[in-house]
Amino acid sequence: MYERFPDLFEAFGKPSASLREGSKVKARDKEKEKVKEQEKEPYGEYVRLTKDEHRKLTERYGAASVKKMIDKLNNAIGSKGYKYKSHYRAILNWVVEAVGAQEVRAGPEWKCPECGAVHHSTYKVCECGWGR
């Protein structure tokens, strides 16, 4: 490149070593990302979390809710093609609210007095026949 534009480099000087090595820096960053990505485990077809991230979510929201959140994010990524730098942050950012809103719409939790099954619906009718 120096041979093609000698006047330009005489006027402004050669680029610094850091600019010439910019592609090397980017390559190192990509290698670091690959190492970080390898630490993540799949928790669905598209959702990837580290063990620590999954543990934090489970401690905070419970295993059943975390499974619903992962399913919600997995379906959103699969159907709409969303891309996230961090699936953990996406869950904290909007999936928690979306799953919580679904649970509220599903109705309050109640227990069947006859068979003991737990239901999430406004209508108190059980599969065992109670409430009909």
Q: Are 46 and 75 in contact (CB under 8 A)?
A: no
Q: Which pLDDT tens digit goes with each residue over 64-73? A: 889 999 999 9
pTM of the model as a whole? 0.53
Mean pLDDT, the chain, rounded, equals: 78
pLDDT band at 56 (very low <50, low <70, confident <90, very high): very high
End-to-end, the C-alpha distance of the chain in Å comes to: 84
Q: Are 76 and 82 in contact (CB under 8 A)?
A: yes
- Does 60 have pLDDT greater than 90? no
CB-based burial of residue 92 (10 Å sphere; 0-12 exposed, 13-18 middle, 19+ buried)? middle
For residues 52-63, give the mean pLDDT: 89
Identify which has the larger pLDDT, 13 or 77.
77
Enumerate the domain spans of the chain: 22-106
